[in-house]
A and B are shown apart, each in its own frame.
Chain A
Amino acid sequence: MSRRNWVRLDNASNIFLAARTDVDPKVFRLGAEMDEEVDAGLLQAALEEVYDRFPLYHAVLRRGVFWYYLQDSDLIPRVAPETEPSCSPLYQVDHRTLLFRVLHHEKRISLEVFHALSDGTGALWFLTELLAAYARRRASAPAHPAPRGPRPAPPLHTLTTDSFAHYFRRRRRPAEDPAHAREFTRDAAPAALTVAGAGPTADGPAGAAPAPPPATRRRGRVHRVRGTRTPDHRTRVLELTMPTAQVLALARTERVALTMYLTALFLESVRRAAGGAADRSRLVASVPVNLRQFFPSTSARNFFATTSVEHTFGDDETLDQPEEIARSLQQAFDAEAAPAALAQRLRGLQRVERSPFARIVPRPLKDVILGLVNRGNNRHLTVAVSNLGRVVLPEPADSQVRRLQFHVSAARPQFCAISHGEHLTVTFTSPFVETDHVREFARLLTARGVDVTVAAPRTTEAELAETEDEEVER
């Protein structure tokens, strides 16, 4: 009889369960386009190798009286051809399934992850390892699938003792595989609690200036994008690929980071697409910040803080140029994402994690409260952006990958950016069929001399009917 390891889900991850809907199942996708068609057999072998080294990904989600918790499982993931819309639901109540999937379609390998399990950075570690293992197999066996060798021994970690008292103290028995058990517990621990001291002197970048006090929330109506829902509630995805160097040069001219430059273009696109409805209201973009860069943590769990930046389009046209917006967004973002401000957020996260009140509230009630909190927050957001930055893969994977993809199921228009080599991929997702804001975004870029390529899955009835007509003609 096996006694499975488990850890409770932290509050930051709980919000994804509470905010999960039919339209937005809180699933995100990271993917890579290879130089050749994907070999499913090699991919499966690579997945099994990597899966052994990522105990967190063995987890299934279960419901307790007060918490959701992640429980270790014996399930083996299977790679599958892509037959469902991207970011289809992964977690369903009472289904004991893994919280990620690996898909392939022609040249693409996609990793889809339920957001309660991990965040983009955590998932990127997994994808990197997966691509490396796949590319190694591909390089060593160009013609035939390699016979599956003995599995590499699990890595030896010098582990600290398990700090989580998960069982009743009485009659605690050793688990069957203590090394795996400890790895699971360590990897699955709430990330906020893995950081020792988050005082104001926490290891921020050297010489960082203390943050100015956070600006008081400005009042005023926040513009929210409305539209027609997609017919079967699948996420609308539009993927723009462009040369990294061209966009980076534009951002550097304005002395702003790429994320803020793209965000400024996004806000301007939303304004143009709204046709006057967004004038004089606040356009707010939520921007997650990866906390690992300031507070080192090995946890692959969710470990980010959300900040928001905003702009109000007014009468002064010089202030409303995307370049000018980018500069003011960058200023606001620098203040919000300063180490001191982030340390304060981290302390907040830890406080919530340990607060007795958050503990004794029964889970169904927690879901309702967090759902309401989330709805309240949504009312103050226009769009969301997320940038995983430039990714360098280990060889031979790096040379086999043409470009990377990253996008997330969305409750509001959103873009996710990732770059690899010469290609920057900016993927727009939205619960609505309308593509006006993406059209404006692409046109803003092409007007600035950027070469943009669009790739998109067919989503509306008309778009899908077109392929059926073609098949009939053939």
Chain B
Amino acid sequence: MSTCPECAVQVEGDWTRCPLCAAALSGGGAAGPWPVVPLRFSRRRVLRVLALASLAVIVLSFLAQLLFQPEAKGLGALRSTWLGIVTTWLVVVMAISKRRNIAKAVVYLVVAAGAVSVYWDYLTDFSGWSLTYVVPIVCFASIVGLLLTVRLIRMETADHIVYTGLVVLLGLTPLLFLALGWVGTWIPSAICGALSAVAVVLLLTVSGGAMRHELAQRLHL
């Protein structure tokens, strides 16, 4: 142990200067009780800043579309490229930030993909392609993908049941569009709606108890 002549304290560890007052120590020291931990940057902080910056760029890009007139010359290709890149970016950011829970990531994906396609459709004179094709196909694919994935990766029921339920409920929305006559061709919506209806029945019969338990927990007052 070494000694600080200024503070009159003994210092444990291999310090050459007093950790309190930085005066030179007298006497040699052996290894102290604390490990030496090198400085490191916080990966969490970097990820958070990148995610927030990305979200800002994405939101601004979507809002910027409102400034253009639909009939502007040469806009079509430019807008498709721009929105395509921004949408891909959005999906990547979501996938990274929700990587801990794949079921939650799928809910976010369905909502974002549906919202972006409807907005895109609206920007291009709303011919209804988003509601007729994109939303039913995305929902259908998500339900199939999610039901397969949670089994393949042996996800615990409690961890995905609420999200699976949400995706299946979202899968019923094309039936609503169909009923309101918002769609051009009825086939995609009908297939998606039928699959969702079957999935709802399956979920309630097979995992109804787990679902109630999980909802009781999450909505506990």
Chain A contacts to B: CB under 8 angstroms: 1-4, 6, 8, 22, 33, 62, 64-67, 69, 71, 81-85, 92, 94-96, 105-108, 166-168, 170-171, 173, 231-234, 237-238, 240, 359-360, 435, 438-439, 442-443, 446, 451-458, 461, 463-464, 466-467, 470
Cβ-based interface call for B216 (8 A): yes
A4 and B158 within 8 A (CB): yes
Are A457 and B100 neighbours in the complex by a CB distance under 8 Å? no
Asked if residues A435 and B19 are in contact (CB atoms below 8 Å), the reply is yes
Q: From known contacts A439-B7, A454-B12, infer whether A168 and B217 are also in contact, taking CB-CB under 8 Å.
A: no
Residue contact B213 to A105, C-beta cutoff 8 Å: no
Nearest B-chain residue to A466, judged by Cβ: B16
- Once the chains bind, are A92 and B44 in contact (CB under 8 Å)? yes
Q: Do B36 and A66 touch across chains, with their CB atoms under 8 A apart?
A: no
Tell me the bound Cα distance from A446 to B213 in angstroms: 60
The reply on B94 being an interface residue by CB < 8 A is: no
Q: Are A455 and B34 CB-contacts (below 8 A) given A65-B218, A166-B216, A446-B9?
A: yes
Q: Which of B9, B213, B220 contacts A453 (CB 8 A)?
A: B9
Which 8 A/B pairs are nearest by Cβ-Cβ distance?
Answer: A457-B34, A439-B20, A94-B100, A455-B12, A446-B8, A64-B218, A456-B19, A452-B9
A467 to B19, CA, bound (A): 14
Given contacts A71-B217, A168-B212, A455-B34, 17 further A-B contacts (CB under 8 A): A3-B158, A6-B217, A64-B219, A66-B220, A94-B98, A96-B100, A238-B20, A240-B9, A435-B19, A442-B7, A446-B7, A451-B10, A452-B8, A453-B9, A453-B12, A454-B9, A457-B37
B40 is an interface residue with CB less than 8 A from chain A: yes
Q: Could you list 8 A-B pairs, sorted by A, with CB under 8 Å? A: A1-B210, A6-B217, A82-B37, A96-B159, A168-B213, A168-B216, A458-B34, A467-B14
Q: In the complex, A233→B27 CA distance in Å?
A: 32
Mostly helix, strand, loop or mixed at chain A's interface? loop
Q: Residues of B at under 8 Å CB distance from A?
A: 1, 4, 7-21, 31-42, 44-45, 98, 100-101, 104, 156-159, 209-210, 212-213, 216-221
Chain B residues with Cβ under 8 A from A6's Cβ? 217
Given contacts A173-B209, A456-B13, A456-B19, contact A64 B41 (CB under 8 A): no
Residues of chain B within 8 A (CB-CB) of A107 are 33
Q: Given that A94-B100, A106-B33, A456-B19 are known contacts, is A64 also in contact with B217, CB under 8 Å in the complex?
A: yes
**Is A435 a contact partner of B218 (Cβ separation < 8 A)?**
no
Known: A94-B100, A232-B40. A454 touches B219 (CB 8 A): no
A82-B35, A454-B10 are known contacts. Are A3 and B213 too (CB-CB below 8 A)? yes
Chain A's nearest CB lies how many Å from the CB of B39? 5
Chain B residues within 8 Å of A467, by CB: 14, 36
Question: Separation in Å of the B151 CB from the closest CB of chain A?
Answer: 13
Cα A166 to Cα B9 in complex, Å, equals 55
Bound CA span A359–B219, Å: 11
A332 to B45, CA, bound (A): 42
- The reply to whether B37 and A67 form a contact with Cβ atoms under 8 Å apart is no
CA distance A94 to B159 in the complex (A): 11
CB distance from A308 to the nearest CB of B (A): 27
A470 contacts which chain B residues (CB < 8 A)?
14
Q: A40: shortest Cβ distance to chain B, in Å?
A: 14
Given A167-B213, A168-B212, A168-B213: A455 and B20 interface contact (C-beta under 8 Å)? no
A200 to chain B, nearest CB (A): 30
CB pair B10 A452 closer than 8 Å: yes
Query: Which chain B positions have C-beta within 8 A of A67?
Result: 220
When distances are taken between beta carbons in the complex, the residues of chain A under 8 Å from B11 are 453-455
Question: What's the least CB distance linking A6 to chain B, in Å?
Answer: 5
Which residue of B has the minimal Cβ distance to A6? B217
CA A454 – CA B14 in complex, angstroms?
12
The smallest beta-carbon distance between B155 and chain A, in angstroms, is 11
